[in-house]
Structure 1
Amino acid sequence: RLICDHGISDFRTAKDKAAWMLGLNEHGALPSNREIEDAVAERNRIFGAATHPQLLGRIREAAVSVMQDLIVFRPRLVGSVLSGNVTEHSNINVHVFADSCEAVSMRLDAIGVHYQLRQRRHSIRRGHTEEFTGYDFMSDDFIVETTVFPERRKGHAPLSPVDGRPMQRAHLRDVELLAAG
């Protein structure tokens, strides 16, 4: 419920808050990230049948627009917008590739996007995380979180926080097909 209704997007934060609210030990038997993701999907099926398809269409159309604006950086959509498991609080997550973060900054400046610079940690392999620069901004009333990876990482997706396997990533043409329904 914290993820769906309150917009908490980090599994660890949602688990910690739920444990605290229930008076449980944080290290007790908490659900796995996969179980949480499945519960969000089930909640969408049960309670969002009338509104979920429209929300998913709108957020995917916004993702297409962002990816078109950043096409020179070979954008890849990741996360809930790709999987279709969105809530009204979901962010659009896009990976872009450039050896210079300044090139991404310059592109965002050129198209008039007001952004906030962020540092994001991604698991590159089990037990090993790296920090990457990211840019957060608004597009069509949705928060967009971009992460800039070096060119050499194009073929190496970071590990998914849901299942620990390489993240699913989609090219613009694939997202256009998803947005078209």
Structure 2
Amino acid sequence: MATTGPVSQAVLSFATRLCVEDATLDRIKALQKAADRLGESIDQRFAAVDCERLEVEIRQYQLIFRPDQQAVIRNLRAEAMKAMTFLSDFSPRLVGSVLTGTADRQSKVTLHLFADTPESVMTFLLAKSIPFTESERRYHYRNGRQTRVPVLSFVAFDVPFDLVVFGLDDIKEAPVANSRGGLMTRASVTKVASLLSPSG
């Protein structure tokens, strides 16, 4: 069935269940899978809007069916803030499900760091006796630019972290959240602190 607007509530609800079962699932992929399962199609012009609606649905689901989820998210954000303070030399920004409030107990804390070279972050971690593993991640920008950046992963206090190391100039522009969505939301340590405040 052709769609000429935002996805239906049925698709949104199905995608919500998929994301709750797998917090790492890309939102647009969840919507596409749900639409395919229900015999509908997605109007890509509304992809960013649909992803935002999906985030709201996931948070609502967790509030109703997983009331302890807020404590989990608060703990992850608190650990993120500690790490951001520790890594303050690299202008850390929190991104992903811990920021949006859709994380679960298995979610990683993902921080974007900005440095003249990735080696400077590696040297910093090694000097602090923090072992890590290296990988890469691809990001896309609105101007069509694509880049692969290093990811340094480690576990601290039973919380897994991914440090994504960008160049210094990359702090000026966030990559897109997915190949069809809006810009990725990044939060400074001040913003994370506000989320942890009683009124946050």
Q: Which bin holds the TM-score, normalised by the shorter protein?
A: 0.7 to 0.9
Is the Cα contact below 8 Å between 2:81 and 2:189 reproduced in 1? yes
> Which residue pairs with 1:121 in the alignment?
138
What is the Cα deviation at residue 139 of structure 1?
2.4
Aligned counterpart for 2:71 among listed residues 22, 43, 54: 54
Q: Which residue identity is paired with 2:41?
A: A
Aligned-pair RMSD on alpha carbons? Answer: 2.7
1:110 to 127, 133, 158: 127
Equivalences for residues 62-77 of structure 1 within 5 A: 62-77=79-94
Equivalents in 2 of 1:180, 1:139: separation in Å? 23
Quote the Cα distance in structure 1 between the aligned partners of 2:178 and 2:18. 17
Counterpart position of 1:38: 56
Q: Could you tell me how far 1:148 is from its partner in structure 2?
A: 0.8
Larger radius of gyration: 2
Tell me, yes or no, if structure 1 residue 29 matches structure 2 residue 41. yes
Deviations 1:81-123 (A, max 9, x none): 2222222222211110012100100111122222111111111
5+ residue gaps, structure 2: 1-16
Match of 2:158 in 1: 141
Q: CA deviation at 1:58?
A: 0.4
Contact 1:33-1:163 at 8 Å conserved across structures? no
Give percent identity, aligned residues only. Answer: 28
Specify the alignment match of 2:177 in structure 1.
Answer: 160
Return the offset for 1:15.
Answer: 6.2
Give the stretch that moved more between structures: 74-83 or 163-172. 163-172
TM-score scaled to structure 2, two decimals?
Answer: 0.74
Letter in 2 for 1:133: P
Residue 156 of structure 1: how far off its partner (Å) = 0.9
1-side partners of 2:82 and 2:41: how far apart? 41
User: How many pairs are equivalent?
Assistant: 176
1:137 match: secondary structure: strand
> Equivalents in 2 of 1:102, 1:34: separation in Å?
35
* Gap regions ≥5 residues in structure 1: none
- Under a length normalisation based on structure 1, what TM-score does the superposition of the two structures give? 0.81
Within the alignment, does 1:4 sit opposite 2:23 as a pair?
no
**Higher RCO, 1 vs 2 (CA within 8 Å, ≥6 residues apart):** 1
Conserved? CA contact 1:122–1:129, under 8 Å: yes
Q: Give CA deviations for 1:22-71 in whole Å, capped at 9, x if unaligned.
A: 6x89xx6369544543332232122122x022111100111011111211
Q: Which piece of structure 1 moves more, 79-88 or 89-98?
A: 79-88
Does the alignment pair 1:101 with 2:113? no
Distance in 2 separating the partners of 1:94 and 1:57: 16
Runs of 4+ in 1 over 4 A off after TM superposition: 12-20
8 Å CA contact 1:91–1:143 kept in 2: the answer is: yes
